[in-house]
Structure 1
């Protein structure tokens, strides 16, 4: 997955629709949170086993919500001047340092 290409495509959609004024870090973080709540809703009231064996339509819906979350996070990184690859690698390295022995 080329995150720079995805970000450019997102910027194209944003610019064609004049949404830049609405894409503040605050708004993008809130939008990602709303999409996460929509993902959580798919799993609400399911057992652990049911959550691991979603029917095809719920699995597709979960994938759409994951996509929404990732795209909002890419836009948030862009607005904050963060490199998604770098922040994810740094966090993974920190987790490996803390939890892998």
Structure 2
């Protein structure tokens, strides 16, 4: 996955629709939370076992992928609009998590 290319494509998509005035970090974060809620809604009434077997239902699995993609696309846009290097931020966070949660 080429993150800079995705961000470029998202910028073009927004520009073609004249959405730039609305795509502030605040608005993008709020939209991402709405999409995250839609992701949670998929699992809302499932048992833990049902949630683990979601890939067995093609329609639910496709819906799950769409909601995960929505959340990710908004995250990429937030990073792009705020100048956060996603790859560097993820690597840094993984390293910090390894320090915070060492292997016993």
The two structures have a TM-score, normalised by structure 2, of 0.94
Deviations 1:71-99 (A, max 9, x none): 00000001111111111111111111111
| Shift of residue 100, structure 1, vs aligned partner | 2.5
Paired with 2:23 and 2:88, the residues of 1 have a C-alpha distance of 22
**How many residue pairs align between the two structures?**
101
Paired with 1:57 and 1:97, the residues of 2 have a C-alpha distance of 40
- State which of 67, 70, 85 in structure 2 corresponds to 1:68: 70
Paired with 1:56 and 1:91, the residues of 2 have a C-alpha distance of 33
Paired with 1:13 and 1:31, the residues of 2 have a C-alpha distance of 16
Give the RMSD, CA atoms, in angstroms.
0.7
| Residue of structure 2 equivalent to 1:38 | 38
**What 5-or-longer segments of structure 1 have no aligned partner?**
none
- State which of 81, 84, 95 in structure 2 corresponds to 1:82: 84
Paired with 2:71 and 2:102, the residues of 1 have a C-alpha distance of 28
